[in-house]
Structure 1
Amino acid sequence: MLPTELFKYVKQIHIRTRRLVNDVFAGGYHSAFKGRGMEFAEVREYTPGDDIRSIDWNVTARTGQPYVKQFVEERELTVMLLVDLSASGQFGTVAKLKTEIATELCAVLAMSAITNNDKVGLILFTDRIERFIPPQKGKHHVLRVIREVLGFRPQHLGTDIGGALEYLHRISRRRSVCFLVSDFLASDYETPLRIAHRRHDIIPVTLTDQREDHLPRLGLVMLQDLETGAHVLVDTSSRAVRQQYQQRREAAVSQRQRLFRTLGLDTIDIRTDEPFIDPLMRFFRQRERRR
């Protein structure tokens, strides 16, 4: 994509997602995530019905009138977007590729965070760390995040989710809200996920295409692994082959979901054939109810 085309596309996504955030997501995001605690704001005169535990006895003693302390939630959070840019993201059989949906989703999350005065950082990874952008605030920073997710061309094709989580653990000492955006077509990330989860609020965002669930009956088909480049000839007219594929797929999904449940992670499941608005709003509402 040429720089001028990329700039126009970034602006389009920014305008579109800004409307979504203003109309739909801003309140849900704010309600879904707690700040770091409560901080003192001011004192005011006591009124009937106030909690007597909030009385400021020092001010009350000086003035001779009862005063109460008021607190506000310390809102500032750090949101980290960990985005899988491996070659399997260049797949989509409906309207958009996984990477395109990931871009728009990250734009919405980044805009929601900035609207709530939170910081946003970005880690782009394949089978190694491709790009790291430290957390910052501001509109221009959000535009940079969108531009990087949309226009960055990774140097490698594979996937190493565990490596990305280990990198996050090294560079982010403070607790962060971390959206891990991937199709999770990988293995060997359970231990790094457990370690990262102890410090951070990890939220797996799973991207799935409908063709990954079932193997269509198309006769002999030459399939290619986008990450390794390997080719294999598959007889999709064979019922046994289709059943074996589906069983392996279901087993992998079940194992992943079991891991997330064991760790108590909230997940967002997004499909390429459905808008991501509904699953994201369900996630926000679920978080809000728990608060």
Structure 2
Amino acid sequence: MINQSELESKVRHIQVHSRKAVLELLAGEYRSCFKGMGIEFEDVREYSHGDDVRTIDWNVTARTGKPHVKTFMEERELSLYFLLDVSGSGDFGSGVFTKREMAANIFALLAFASAHNHDNVGLILFSDQIELHIKARKGQNHVMRMIDLIMRHEPKSQGTDIAGALDYLNQVRSRRCIAFVLSDFIDQSYSDALRQSAQQHDLICVSLSDVRERELPKSGMLEMVDAETGEMRSIDCSDSRLRKLVKSRSAGHQSQLQDLCREVNADLLPLDTEDDFLHEIIQFFRDRMNRSADA
């Protein structure tokens, strides 16, 4: 069990390093990916690092001596919701991060990018029930509070209900938003809910996995515990048939999720706990922007 000082250190690390990454790398990519050019002009404001230079109002800039950008109605209404899976399987990780810690880091990066661009950010923590709901608001202090809540949260349940979380989002957020689902998607019977949410929102599934879920260690007999059911069993990791079965099932799970996201028109970003996820997120934004440009 992590102690209080270690927890506070982890929270500070996420907050400091995520904000630094946003300012240096992510803010411009986020804006290019999600900020459309609305047809209704709203206002002008001073230029911030990461703003699209195409929105600069040169007349106001020349008059004031400071760069200003135009804002549009579409920007004002942009909201993001993060559905973060805190079920028992998220506590697994064979490297630096568990899947849940990785999800917290990814949330921090994207949420700070949203705050930097004056967007609203909301949060839903879920297991097989809704564990926590923070309504969408603006501001970095709001983001920092949510990071702290994620890291300190102790789940009430170990199970997973992705369909229930998506249905809840649709109930509390009737207007269209950008919705990120951060989960290992180890669950069943959520395809209909995913389809409904993808029709209602701009849905992005961030699939988190660990190498040890795809490939068993060559360590002979191993005691394993199902994090969500508590079931224990002994397995022989040197059994070649078992190793092939684990690898095949993992590949099948990822392939099914990929096919489902394609079918319902949701984006999929698969990430491993060993990935440089900042690089992967930036590449995802660029690929998404290129697809939009080609559409």
* Normalised TM-score (structure 1): 0.85
- The amino acid that maps onto 2:39 is M
Q: Secondary structure at 1:175's aligned position in 2?
A: coil
- 1:138 match: 139
**Structure 2 unmatched ranges of 5 or more:** 44-69
Q: Secondary structure at 1:74's aligned position in 2?
A: helix
**Structure 1 unmatched ranges of 5 or more:** 43-69
The offset of 1:171, in angstroms, is 0.6
- 1:64 match: none
- 2:58 match: none
Q: Matches of residues 275-290 of structure 1 in structure 2 within 5 Å?
A: 275-289=276-290, 290=292
Confirm or deny: 8 A CA contact 1:177 1:202 kept in the other structure: yes
- 2:226 match: 225
Confirm or deny: 8 A CA contact 2:204 2:268 kept in the other structure: yes
CA change 1:20–1:186 in 2 (3 A) is same
- 2:212 match: 211
- 1:92 match: 93
The offset of 1:23, in angstroms, is 0.5
- 1:188 match: 189
Q: Matches of residues 36-55 of structure 1 in structure 2 within 5 Å?
A: 37-40=38-41
Confirm or deny: 8 A CA contact 1:181 1:204 kept in the other structure: yes
Q: Matches of residues 1-291 of structure 1 in structure 2 within 5 Å?
A: 1=2, 6-35=7-36, 37-40=38-41, 72=72, 74-76=74-76, 77-289=78-290, 290-291=292-293
Provide the aligned length of Structure 1 versus Structure 2.
Answer: 264
How far apart, CA to CA, are the structure 2 residues paired with 1:71 and 1:237?
60
How far apart, CA to CA, are the structure 2 residues paired with 1:194 and 1:132?
22
How far apart, CA to CA, are the structure 1 residues paired with 2:218 and 2:10?
37
* Normalised TM-score (structure 2): 0.84
Confirm or deny: 8 A CA contact 1:78 1:119 kept in the other structure: yes
- 2:49 match: none
Q: Secondary structure at 1:164's aligned position in 2?
A: helix
| Deviation string, structure 1 residues 82-120 (Cα, Å, up to 9, x no partner) | 000011111111111111111111011110001111000
Question: Which is further off, 233-242 or 113-122?
Answer: 233-242
CA change 1:222–1:5 in 2 (3 A) is closer
Output the aligned Cα RMSD. Answer: 1.9
Confirm or deny: 8 A CA contact 1:33 1:287 kept in the other structure: no
The offset of 1:172, in angstroms, is 0.3
The offset of 1:35, in angstroms, is 4.4
Q: Secondary structure at 1:285's aligned position in 2?
A: helix
How far apart, CA to CA, are the structure 2 residues paired with 1:151 and 1:209?
22
- 1:58 match: none
| Deviation string, structure 1 residues 24-77 (Cα, Å, up to 9, x no partner) | 0000001101448321359xxxxxxxxxxxxxxxxxxxxxxxxxxx98463131
| Deviation string, structure 1 residues 191-212 (Cα, Å, up to 9, x no partner) | 0000111110110001111111
The structure whose Rg is larger is 1
How far apart, CA to CA, are the structure 2 residues paired with 1:85 and 1:240?
32
How far apart, CA to CA, are the structure 1 residues paired with 2:129 and 2:221?
35
Question: Which is further off, 19-28 or 257-266?
Answer: 257-266
| Deviation string, structure 1 residues 182-240 (Cα, Å, up to 9, x no partner) | 01111111000001111101100011111111123322222110110001221222222
The offset of 1:144, in angstroms, is 1.1
How far apart, CA to CA, are the structure 2 residues paired with 1:4 and 1:249?
36
CA change 1:36–1:176 in 2 (3 A) is farther
How far apart, CA to CA, are the structure 1 residues paired with 2:242 and 2:4?
45
